[in-house]
Structure 1
Amino acid sequence: MAVDRAVAPLGLTHAQYALMASLYGMSRTGLQPSQRRLADHTGLEPLYVSKLARALEGAGLVARTRDPADPRAMQLSLTEQGRDVTRRAIKVVQGLLDQLLEPLGGQVSPRTRQFTRELTTLLDAPLNPHTENDEEQS
């Protein structure tokens, strides 16, 4: 929610920011990813990435072109306006992260690194889809 509020003045949602920031990072390494590859990279559903990309294209922030190697696939790239908005959004989100992580000593503090490792461990832990309620209902 905080990211949504932070990027709203730039005309973006959190999901649009995630897509554009990922696209920005990938393009800086010379990649022009397909919608599918960007979906895999962001963890967003491919259909959702397609919807976001169409909306961002309509706003003049993203260009969608057919992949010459696979005419069924669409490649994405940021327009000049999209790069400008993305750079500004990244600064805003970095400022938000600075604020949120200040109690731990900032983004690069040992406490923040430890917190990140522990949070990653918790988020990566497999969950048992069965709960006690399931057993009681059987």
Structure 2
Amino acid sequence: MSRRAVRAEELSLLLMRASSAVAERINDAVIASGHPGLRPVYGLVFARISGAGASINQLAEHLGITKQSASAIVDALVRDGYVARRPDPADRRASIIELTARGRQVTRAASRTAAAEVERLETRWGPVALKSFTGMLDDLAGDGTPRPVW
């Protein structure tokens, strides 16, 4: 890129391209590790429910979608063995969605690829530049929650 001023459209497109490239590399690695058919949006689901799990309402809010859409995603992930529903001890009408062993395999594969991506950038740019870049991205992102781009 030349030294001329960066236009807003260019910056937006570059950020989208970078995000898509990283998400695609992670998704490709997950698929290659024996999990075909998974979509990048599922990574946001897995991230939200890892640990203590989440209700459908919490998941829908996290993803910025309706409860019905969140339920459809969860149904597909349950069918494929990546997540399970367990009764919510605080509300007998609700369920908590949590990762199964198969779902945890996916998160480990994604984490390995994300770590390799960080290592690749650190090797290419150096640790100081990567830390600076990460700080700038954090500043740009603010307190926003990652949401799927439909």
TM range (shorter): 0.5 to 0.7
Aligned position for 2:41: 15
Contact 1:105 1:112 in 2 (8 A): no
- TM-score by structure 1 length? 0.64
2:132 paired residue among 111, 118, 131: 111
User: Residues of 2 paired with 1:120 and 1:49: CA distance?
Assistant: 24
Task: Give 2:81's aligned amino acid.
Answer: G
User: Residues of 1 paired with 2:71 and 2:126: CA distance?
Assistant: 38
- TM-score by structure 2 length? 0.60
Q: How does 1:51-66 map to 2 (within 5 A)?
A: 51-66=72-87
Contact 1:101 1:112 in 2 (8 A): no
Matched length: 117
1:43 partnered with 2:69: no
Backbone CA RMSD of aligned residues: 3.0
Measured against aligned partners, the alpha-carbon deviations of 1:70-125 in whole angstroms (never above 9, x if no partner) come to 2332211111111122211222233345546766545983312331233125x96x
1:93 partnered with 2:119: no
Q: Bigger CA drift: 91-100 or 59-68?
A: 91-100
Aligned position for 2:88: 67
Q: Which has the higher contact order (CA 8 A, sep 6+)?
A: 2
User: Residues of 2 paired with 1:107 and 1:7: CA distance?
Assistant: 28
Runs of 5+ consecutive residues of structure 1 not aligned to the other structure: 125-138
Runs of 5+ consecutive residues of structure 2 not aligned to the other structure: 1-19, 145-150
Task: Give 1:56's aligned amino acid.
Answer: L
Helix, strand or coil: the match of 1:109?
helix
User: Residues of 1 paired with 2:129 and 2:60: CA distance?
Assistant: 28
Aligned position for 2:26: 6
